[in-house]
A and B are shown apart, each in its own frame.
Chain A
Amino acid sequence: DAGVTQSPTHLIKTRGQQVTLRCSPISGHKSVSWYQQVLGQGPQFIFQYYEKEERGRGNFPDRFSARQFPNYSSELNVNALLLGDSALYLCASSLGPTRGTDTQYFGPGTRLTVL
């Protein structure tokens, strides 16, 4: 079975532009989470979506938005890009709310460089 897939793998943008990143979860997983990983740091939580609804949001500005589609794939949008948005953007998929802990599995990430 395919794991979590993300596209594109690399992206270069200039300040002020907008970017859309895409993620397809593991088959059967209904929840998608997005993380930002700046060089030398651990991933930081941005959003979680389950059944097309936002379930959680990290400490990120409104320039960051996301949505989940009926097939459970997801897009992360970032508007008015800043140099500091340069990072690896990771998508993680999971089954969704369960009685126990919902284990997340990560994709390879999209490397965004803002010039």
Chain B
Amino acid sequence: GQQLNQSPQSMFIQEGEDVSMNCTSSSIFNTWLWYKQDPGEGPVLLIALYKAGELTSNGRLTAQFGITRKDSFLNISASIPSDVGIYFCAGQIGDKIIFGKGTRLHILP
């Protein structure tokens, strides 16, 4: 079945550092999505990518839809304490969304 490989599984960084995480798949997706989930809450959509090669920013967040349509990355610049949480990539084709296992971001003071 379709699976997404998200890496890294977890990250420990200093406040102010930049962060990069990525997602790969053996399947092609029409849309790539990046969500953030805080403890006890549902995932919140950060960025949606609809076109191969598309590079989209949302404040300090930047994400790209890979040319092959099988991968995507998310960058966070100048991390701050509220960036702590779990980041999920997701690939969508039609009505179906497949999620990665998440990247847990820890920020050291």
Contacts and interface: CB of A to CB of B under 8 A. Distances in A.
A87 to B, nearest CB: 13
B101 A108 contact: no
Interface stretch (B14-22, B56-64, B90-98): B90-98
B72 interface: no
Interface in B24-56: 30-31, 33, 35, 40-45, 48, 50
Nearest to A56: B95
Contact of A43 (B40, B45, B96, B99): B99
A101 B42 contact: no
A107 interface: yes
Interface residues of A, number: 27
A100 interface: yes
5 contacts: A41-B102, A42-B6, A43-B88, A43-B99, A106-B43
Given A43-B88, A106-B35, A108-B40, 12 more contacts: A33-B95, A40-B101, A41-B101, A42-B102, A48-B95, A56-B95, A101-B30, A101-B92, A103-B48, A106-B42, A106-B44, A108-B42
Contacts of A101: 30-31, 48, 50, 92
B42 A104 contact: no
A44 interface: yes
Contacts of A43: 43, 88, 99
Nearest to B101: A42
Interface of A: 4, 31, 33, 40-45, 48, 55-56, 59, 90, 92, 97, 100-109, 111
A102 B48 CA distance: 11
Given A42-B100, A100-B50, A103-B48, A108 B41 contact: yes
Q: Which label, helix, strand, loop or mixed, suits the secondary structure of the A interface? A: loop
Contact of B96 (A42, A56, A92, A111): A56
A109 B42 contact: yes
B6 to A, nearest CB: 8
Most buried by B among A40, A100, A101: A101
A6 to B, nearest CB: 8
